[in-house]
Amino acid sequence: MSDHHDSDGWFDKPENVSKMLKVFYVVCVLLVIADFIVHRHIYHSWENVPAFYAIYGFVGCSILVFVAKWMRTFLMRGEDYYDE
Amino acid sequence: MSSVIPFLPLMLGAFAALILRGWTRNIIMLAAPVVGALNLMGLEHGVFWSMEFMGYALEPVKVDKLSMMFGYLFHLAALIAIIYALHVKDTVQHVAGLAYAASAVGAVFAGDLLTLFVFWELLALTSVFLIWARRTDRAYASGMRYLIIQVLSGVLLLAGLLIFAQVNNSLLFTQIGLGHDGIAEIGAWLIFAAFGIKCAFPFVHNWLTDAYPESTPSGTIFLASFTTKVAVYAFARGFPGEEILVWIGVTMACFPIFYAVIENDLRRVLAYSLINQIGFMIVGIGIGTSLALNGAVAHAFNDVIFKGLLMMTMGAVLHMTGKINGSELGGLYKSMPKTTIFCIVGAASISAFPLFSGFVSKSMIMAAAVKEGYDYVWLLLLFAAAGVFHHAGIKIPYFAFFAHDSGIRTTEPPKNMLIAMFLGAVACVILGTFPAQTVYALLPWEHNYEPYDVTHVLTQLQLLFFSALAFVWLNLQRLYPPELPSTNLDADWLYRKLAPKFVTTFGCAIYGTYVKFERSSLALIKRMIRQTYDVEQGQPKGYFARLWPVETMVVWVAVLLSVYLVFYYI
């Protein structure tokens, strides 16, 4: 069953991927717009920042990846480091 | 009531699996958790079995809402894991898996510390065979390290409970707490440390990330379900509301996600994210309000199911392709579409998407943190929640099933594996969509929490979508760290590299000194002999050595007598 669609998976076509990404971007924009329309409960004063969760998620994850990448410089060893 | 001891059905199942073969074994193995769960339904709250041992009252089986919740959870997890392992032709794994599940059930129904200790050690002894069952040198060494650390935890528990028995004259397992006087404080801390090791606290967490990914595809499902959750249960009963747990928990929630981002072995990524999820539970237990405690145990419940599901999908990949490193995988969605969907359901659940199980439990802990004024803890947990989506929610499915096409062509895993993953996925959706009828109905403490409101759904979606946006952006900018075949140093470096190196250096130094000392002493003795013995004459050089012993004696007696004479006159 797997052989007849060897390298023509849906995600192999760049136009499909860019279509999907466009939908994704639109959803992101809608979520930020919703932040200004919907009255959300404020449990903490920091939440008063517009689109607080969106900003926090984006910045948090970027920092996570950059720090993790930097950690590689002193934590990374060969695959069989402990077997030598 | 007609019920029997809770762990008995699973334990009998383990013995039956030892003797039976073929389809009879399969039927018994499937029946054991079902019968066990039905048996729980017949149990009434209170002490089910009590006895006296060396003057101490023991309650080997005590039933309350908390133990009941974990009891049901472990039976459900065991059933899914057994279905997943049915195709395996390995008696060791079947017997060890069932006995391990039985030990976990025994531990959560233990009403006294001594019974808890017995099951605590049984958990270690039964589970290590699931690691060794991989039958590689790496798995053997890893299992050995695992066993040593687990048994150490048991020894600490034993020491602590002996102190408690002496001070309180009771072994019953109730709230222990850390505020005691004198020696009881040492006992409390010993028990705390024992629980902490099994809970994978920072610096003692590497048994988990070391051993779980070395186990067999089906063994890991059992492993990920029981040991750490028994420890979470033990903390919820023994140390609720201890503030130190908040800080330990938030550390556990945050630091593993950095490792998870750069780890190549996808099952090890899940092991790190397992610690991250336990961190949330530990924070909840540390806060200690009924909302927080409910959140902690509800999250434990959901975590067993969604982490099991994710582990099952990665186990299926390993089983079918023989590979598990992100650097070697990719593009598998074409040949394993069902597994891909199950993996995405698991990913959505662990990331706490609305309508998936993580959403309804993680939010309780977050809400409790804000409510009790733990501002920075809340902020860090929010970061950890975004991070978990990043590494477990996106990285795992992306690098295994999408990313660049690795060229691997395979098929879906065996039917039983697919059924187990299907059950796990369905459970994730049901738990997330109908929490009030499922996981909330089992919660031990009073609550009136409502997870689904506009604010909560909107903010969570914003957090998750913009975390995903960060992933997309970093990937398009080629800033995302590629998967590399590597080992990342962690606290286990201390005992896998530093300590052996120290011991070898130190040992070599001692041995070298000894050899030098021996050689110089021998040389000294030889020189002494050379100086006192005339080789040419064939006789010693010294005056006394030339005499016979009798003659020497006479000389000395004469000396003695003359000295005596002198003293007499003085």
| pLDDT beyond 90 at B570 | no
Residue B472 and residue A64: Cβ atoms within 8 Å? no
Using alpha carbons only, give the angle B194, B196, B202 rounded to the nearest 5 degrees. Answer: 135
Specify whether the CB–CB gap between B274 and B304 falls below 8 A.
no
Instruction: Nearest by CB to B489, from A7, A56, A77: name it.
Output: A77
What are the residues whose beta carbons fall under 8 Å from the beta carbon of B204, sequence distance 6 or more?
B149, B196, B197, B491
A-chain residues near B364 (CB < 8 A): none
Alpha carbon of A36: minimum distance to chain B alpha carbons (Å):
11
| pLDDT beyond 70 at B410 | yes
Specify whether the CB–CB gap between B351 and B459 falls below 8 A.
no
Which one of A28, A43, A65, A69 makes the best mutation probe of the B interface by having the most chain B beta carbons within 10 Å? Answer: A65
Spell out the alpha helix ranges (H) of B133-265: 137-168, 183-198, 206-211, 219-225, 227-238, 243-262
Write a three-state SS string for B79-131: HHHHHHHCCCCCHHHHHHHHHHHHHHHHHHCCCEHHHHHHHHHHHHHHHHHHH
Residue B328 burial class via C-beta count within 10 angstroms: exposed 0-12, middle 13-18, buried 19 and up:
middle
A-chain residues near B490 (CB < 8 A): 75
In chain A, positions 64-83, which contact chain B (CB-CB < 8 Å)?
64-69, 71-72, 74-83
Say how far apart CA B364 and CA B468 lie, in whole Å. Answer: 23
| pLDDT beyond 80 at B137 | yes
| pLDDT beyond 70 at B173 | yes
> Residue B117: its pLDDT value, please?
96
Three-state secondary-structure class, residue B178: coil
> Residue A7: its pLDDT value, please?
55
Specify whether the CB–CB gap between A51 and A35 falls below 8 A.
yes
What are the residues whose beta carbons fall under 8 Å from the beta carbon of B568, sequence distance 6 or more?
none
Say how far apart CA B172 and CA A82 lie, in whole Å. Answer: 43
B-chain residues near A1 (CB < 8 A): 411
Residue B141 in tokens: 């060494």
Q: How many H helices and E strands in chain B?
A: 23, 5
A-chain residues near B459 (CB < 8 A): 40, 47, 52-53
Q: Which residue type occupies B53?
A: F
Q: pLDDT, tens digit, for every residue of B273-331?
A: 999 999 999 999 999 999 999 999 999 999 999 999 999 999 999 999 999 999 999 88
Say how far apart CA B22 and CA B87 lie, in whole Å. Answer: 10
> Residue B415: its pLDDT value, please?
95
ipTM score of complex: 0.90
Residue A57 and residue B470: Cβ atoms within 8 Å? yes
Residue B309 in tokens: 């599901």
| pLDDT beyond 80 at B349 | yes
The DSSP line for A67-84 is HHHHHHHHHEE-TTGGG-
Among candidate residues B180, B222, B201, the one with its CA nearest the CA of residue B85: B222
Specify whether the CB–CB gap between B387 and B380 falls below 8 A.
no
DSSP state, B406?
-
Q: Which residue type occupies B416?
A: N
Separation of first and last alpha carbons in chain B: 102
The pLDDT of B555-570, averaged and rounded, is: 91
> Residue A84: its pLDDT value, please?
74
Specify whether the CB–CB gap between B304 and B72 falls below 8 A.
no
Say how far apart CA B479 and CA B472 lie, in whole Å. Answer: 10
Instruction: Nearest by CB to B335, from A2, A65, A67: name it.
Output: A2
Q: Which long-range contacts (CB under 8 A, 24 or more apart) does A17-24 make?
A: A21/B472, A24/B465, A24/B468, A24/B469, A24/B472
| pLDDT beyond 50 at A4 | no
Instruction: Nearest by CB to B471, from A38, A59, A61: name it.
Output: A61
Question: In which band, very low, low, confident or very high, does the pLDDT at A5 lie, cut at 50, 70 and 90?
Answer: very low
Helix then strand then coil, % of chain A, to nearest 5? 75, 0, 25
What are the residues whose beta carbons fall under 8 Å from the beta carbon of B69, sequence distance 6 or more?
B297, B301, B442, B443, B444
Residue B292 in tokens: 């927080």
Q: pLDDT, tens digit, for every residue of B46-57?
A: 888 888 888 888
Residue B180 in tokens: 């005691």
What are the residues whose beta carbons fall under 8 Å from the beta carbon of B512, sequence distance 6 or more?
none
DSSP state, B533?
E
Q: Which long-range contacts (CB under 8 A, 24 or more apart) does B253-256 make?
A: B253/B277, B253/B279, B253/B280, B253/B283, B253/B380, B253/B381, B253/B384, B254/B279, B254/B380, B254/B383, B254/B384, B254/B387, B255/B202, B256/B205
Q: pLDDT, tens digit, for every residue of A21-34?
A: 999 999 999 999 99
Residue B462 contacts A where some CB pair is shorter than 8 Å = yes
Q: How many H helices and E strands in chain A?
A: 2, 1
> Residue B146: its pLDDT value, please?
96
Total CB pairs under 8 A between chain A and B: 160
Residue A33 contacts B where some CB pair is shorter than 8 Å = no
| pLDDT beyond 60 at A2 | no
Q: What is the mean pLDDT of chain B?
A: 93
CB count in 10 Å sphere of residue B454 = 12
Percentage of chain B modeled with pLDDT above 90: 80
Specify whether the CB–CB gap between B82 and B29 falls below 8 A.
yes
Domain layout of chain A by residue ranges: 3-83
Among candidate residues B396, B429, B221, the one with its CA nearest the CA of residue B311: B221
